[in-house]
Structure 1
């Protein structure tokens, strides 16, 4: 226990509160001694951990302590102090990046700080803080590499609270608020500076697809799949009007600059103009032959621009509703349109992966921007007309120079499609909303990319550890397999050959071979030492989701979306048997260590136990209420563990099929489970972004770690102390289980 910790332990509660809240007085004193004490406290792990955990303070109060010394005071400091303040800023930004996690679970404090600050371990102050963290005595998962988003990459904060996709985002003109609309049927109002959720507006009966704020900041307008538009008073969250008239989902809304008129676009193929004060419909504009996905108004209120599933953009005269021009050029649906502040240009984003810039007055296409690898769903323009921001189905946000079409920056961090983007009116912040259910706030001007342990350009769906724990193998949606050195996190080799997402990985017990299963319907066998492809097994009629190898190396088992499990002779690639019995996709397979049993998990919500030698079905285990996505067997052959889309993990007796425990702590689908070789611990990975460690015998949760996206796969090293997890953002997390006694 450090000196600060001892000091805090001896204090009564009143003195402790005063001590933890005393930093402002140290700054206000403006003396070198007090400044040094201020810096010492904010680089002391015991102090910052105590403040985060104290009910009167918490994460935001600690962040505000770091902000007591503003950037403009740097010029009045000596060189050493300037460097110290820069390091304090890194710690502050790391806290801000993890605030949404720590607000829910402060036990993750050491893991979150370590995962974000390891990038800066060469800095003396950061190195000292990491050293302090490494000496704590509580159980935690210690990141061995910088696999979490570090400070300085542009991302400021992540807002969590929606329980489904975030479809729409808007910011108030005064820069105080962010408003989000979600598939969870709600509208949420957040404070931009702190990320605090202020209010949730309920009333829509279906997904909220569009959000806009009045220029004066008084009103929120939302459009929904329930075919209605609602107008709300922002300050109190009161619903003022409900506008009905569309015969299908309302996908887009815009307000005139004077807030007198509201324009909406719908899947009913129409554009409607409404009087804002009364909610009365004035015009209905028809002409699109497919759904209207997006709407924009120019600043002088003369023109409406609409984009549609019919691949066209239409320009309409606002005062008459007359169609002026149709712009063609996109080869897929137009999902987003925006107008430059000077009214000269239209920018559009499409399912054809491109962004196009058009001249409003003539409809002439000026430029096509390429760079996204999937559909462009969202477009926003800076108020000064210099920059363009796009959000895409490829999970990224891109910033472009409008005048040249040059890509300036790519922001990564979302683990789902980016459906909406917005810029604050002062141009300081960029806000994005995603199908990973989060809202992210970015510093627009920065965005210097600092590399973490990434390497895959898409979700990591599968991983496996070599038996000697020296190597990790990962498979990804980018169609590649990567081999990593475990100790350093260094990438050694990339294997290419699959033509679609790699969903499954297994290694032979002798370490000589690697087996992969893919959405391209094939199973491939590779030589581990060289990366050379030895054999491709074909026979499945749909995607392969899982592969497993028998401990004696004789058999290979694969599971597929074609509802079957196939058993192959490893040495020849010959198919021996096909097991049928599941009535839905088979997501998972595992083999018992004695080679007698095969276990499969399916979308039909069941687990099946089969005799490997005959293919005979022995037991069907029921109890899950959703797809069984993951299976693991204990090395002694006594227990079976299953993870499901119903958010639970079940532990079963293999010999009888009897359910022993149900573990309920994950808040979303469980994608991965693994067991320690000594049978003491269970590791699980979930779409809720967490890796959790459990005690197998009791079902008690021991510790958790939150990544940047849904955890798709996990493995535990034979020495039981190291855990690897791959997430939906393409990150591979190398974690060490600290302060828990494990037996190799």
Structure 2
């Protein structure tokens, strides 16, 4: 029996700036052009951070998709979507979110305001109940990677990109009361203890500990890794847990002076990392997660240790992609977010009480299964990682077909081609999940921390397309960049039509987009909902 196919086009589309005048942005103001966005009721890109109130009534999730969602924590019911000002490319991506302890205010930031404010970022503050933007702190000298409120809600700290350190603001008037620029690299982690002390991490290897007047008490490296990321005070402030981006270890340090105390058992964590860490609300358990994968489980796990991290552990199957943030819940257990995008709750008894999965197709690990016809009008992709649940979409027919390799397939007769990744005179190496792809032994120029993900050589064997976390980049055979365009999310797969006129890319936000090879102009986009029924196509 043939799989059912559907031609549903008006689904889940929202225009954020309805009927706004088509005028360009000026300095200090966001653009006023209408921007088409996909709204599935769930994020369509990784959830970097979460925030909760002290009574655990509400959850805020911040995402690369440039939105903040507000949920009822007990049920996972969506209450509101907050939409900070956005623009093209990275502008508007939310890397940091925090909720005031009383649940009244949600703060968010990231790559926010830089496109129209001379590369200075902003922190946006929203009223949680009404969704109204109530305050903007602008003029921040770098991208904001993390936000955290003090336990009494009187202060909020922002951790910044590069060597810009941290900034601490008083929430009564949002005035800057302290900054520390003695940081050698990106700041990613920050946490306050019950007495108002602050601990932060930086990719220069150092952990910083401040007293409740924000004077530096200690600054030390920890033996577990070179890039400390997540950090969490134990409830009584006596211990500090640290997770690392470049290590499978978790370290527990003294809350008094950052001296090393012990490391929980990381047996079986052979690769990946445990970047996100959190104590349970009573301090009896320690949780950690990241890119670590336990092959015996169907999901990427959160590891939980008893006895404050000194006892035995259990791996709790959490989600499919990297776990990015973990916070403790008042009655035990934790809430977590991941790059799927997804979020969930484990209760005090290790039961998964809530799990919200994405509505997007997962194009990871299917570069050779991302196929295209000679003229680029038909593409084949997969809804699941590793090429599982393949489907084809024909633009002329406006037709989505599942299982295109089945004998009854309508589109099976079409000849589709895999991406070409090598050609005579083009020795391209280190382009798969790497920061330094090379052409004939010479590094291709990418931005700092920009990771290469996918590759397709054009039929002329003279040029090639590189898909990265941030851009699509077209290079000639000498490594000269001919054009680049901002990617809405990670470019997991790219391909070129057989006639060499169109480039296609499958992105981490669930979209497939077509670009003109001549100049990189986007021509069309497809969003196939992962229910395998609904889809939408639009043009810029």
Q: TM-score range, shorter-chain basis?
A: 0.5 to 0.7
1:412: how far off?
3.8
1:400: how far off?
2.3
* 1:157-556 matches, cutoff 5 A: 161-205=42-86, 206-226=92-112, 227-267=121-161, 268-301=163-196, 303-353=197-247, 354-369=249-264, 370=266, 371=269, 373-394=271-292, 395-401=300-306, 402-404=308-310, 406-414=312-320, 416-428=321-333, 430-447=334-351, 461=366, 542=429
Distance 1:252 1:627 in 2: 30
After superposition, the C-alpha distances for 1:376-415 in whole angstroms (9 at most, x for unaligned) are 332222111012222313454322222415332232422x
Contact kept in structure 2, 1:160 and 1:437, CA below 8 Å: no
After superposition, the C-alpha distances for 1:24-54 in whole angstroms (9 at most, x for unaligned) are xxxxxxxxxxxxxxxxxxxxxxxxxxxxxxx
Larger proportion of helix: 1
Distance 2:96 2:159 in 1: 10
Contact kept in structure 1, 2:169 and 2:178, CA below 8 Å: yes
Contact kept in structure 1, 2:141 and 2:164, CA below 8 Å: no
Contact kept in structure 2, 1:628 and 1:645, CA below 8 Å: yes
- Which position in structure 2 is the counterpart of 1:646? 513
Are residues 214 and 477 of structure 1, via their aligned partners in 2, closer, same or farther at CA, if it must alter by over 3 Å?
closer
1:462: how far off?
8.7
1:181: how far off?
0.7
Unaligned runs of 5+ in 1: 1-102, 105-158, 449-457, 465-475, 482-505, 507-518, 523-538, 546-559, 566-578, 587-601, 609-619, 630-642, 649-661, 669-687, 695-744
Distance 2:524 2:176 in 1: 53
Are residues 262 and 446 of structure 1, via their aligned partners in 2, closer, same or farther at CA, if it must alter by over 3 Å?
closer
* 1:660-699 matches, cutoff 5 A: 667=527, 689=530, 691=532
Are residues 432 and 585 of structure 1, via their aligned partners in 2, closer, same or farther at CA, if it must alter by over 3 Å?
same
1:338: how far off?
0.5
Distance 1:663 1:203 in 2: 25
Superposition TM-score, scaled by structure 1 size? 0.43
Are residues 193 and 359 of structure 1, via their aligned partners in 2, closer, same or farther at CA, if it must alter by over 3 Å?
same
Are residues 477 and 364 of structure 1, via their aligned partners in 2, closer, same or farther at CA, if it must alter by over 3 Å?
farther
Distance 2:228 2:150 in 1: 22
Are residues 692 and 377 of structure 1, via their aligned partners in 2, closer, same or farther at CA, if it must alter by over 3 Å?
same
* 1:494-643 matches, cutoff 5 A: 542=429, 561=455, 563=457, 580=461, 583-584=464-465, 606-608=496-498, 620=499, 622=501, 626-627=504-505
SS of 2:275's partner is: strand
Higher relative contact order (CA 8 A, sep 6+): 2
Contact kept in structure 1, 2:200 and 2:209, CA below 8 Å: yes
- Which position in structure 2 is the counterpart of 1:470? none
- Which position in structure 1 is the counterpart of 2:36? none
Distance 2:458 2:111 in 1: 38
1:347: how far off?
0.4
SS of 1:409's partner is: strand
After superposition, the C-alpha distances for 1:303-355 in whole angstroms (9 at most, x for unaligned) are 21110010110112231523433233243221111000011000011112221
Distance 1:407 1:216 in 2: 33
* 1:35-74 matches, cutoff 5 A: none
SS of 1:646's partner is: strand
Distance 2:111 2:219 in 1: 28
Distance 2:207 2:77 in 1: 38
Distance 1:384 1:223 in 2: 30
SS of 2:229's partner is: strand
Contact kept in structure 2, 1:204 and 1:224, CA below 8 Å: no
Distance 1:445 1:311 in 2: 35
Distance 2:276 2:93 in 1: 17
Aligned residues: 364
1:562: how far off?
7.1
Are residues 342 and 372 of structure 1, via their aligned partners in 2, closer, same or farther at CA, if it must alter by over 3 Å?
farther
- Which position in structure 2 is the counterpart of 1:595? none
After superposition, the C-alpha distances for 1:466-518 in whole angstroms (9 at most, x for unaligned) are xxxxxxxxxx999xx9xxxxxxxxxxxxxxxxxxxxxxxx9xxxxxxxxxxxx
Superposition TM-score, scaled by structure 2 size? 0.58
Contact kept in structure 2, 1:271 and 1:292, CA below 8 Å: yes
Unaligned runs of 5+ in 2: 1-10, 13-39, 87-91, 113-120, 293-299, 353-362, 370-383, 388-404, 406-418, 433-453, 468-491, 516-522, 536-540
Distance 1:358 1:544 in 2: 38
1:272: how far off?
1.7
SS of 1:389's partner is: strand
After superposition, the C-alpha distances for 1:583-637 in whole angstroms (9 at most, x for unaligned) are 3369xxxxxxxxxxxxxxx9875322xxxxxxxxxxx174x562389xxxxxxxx
Contact kept in structure 1, 2:456 and 2:464, CA below 8 Å: no
SS of 1:244's partner is: strand
Distance 1:424 1:647 in 2: 44
Contact kept in structure 1, 2:326 and 2:335, CA below 8 Å: yes
Contact kept in structure 2, 1:285 and 1:321, CA below 8 Å: no
Distance 1:252 1:477 in 2: 29
Which range moved further: 321-330 or 167-176?
321-330
Contact kept in structure 2, 1:218 and 1:234, CA below 8 Å: yes
SS of 2:185's partner is: coil
Which of the pair has more CA radius of gyration? Answer: 1
Contact kept in structure 1, 2:512 and 2:527, CA below 8 Å: no
1:251: how far off?
1.5
Distance 1:210 1:644 in 2: 24
Are residues 621 and 288 of structure 1, via their aligned partners in 2, closer, same or farther at CA, if it must alter by over 3 Å?
closer
Distance 1:443 1:194 in 2: 13
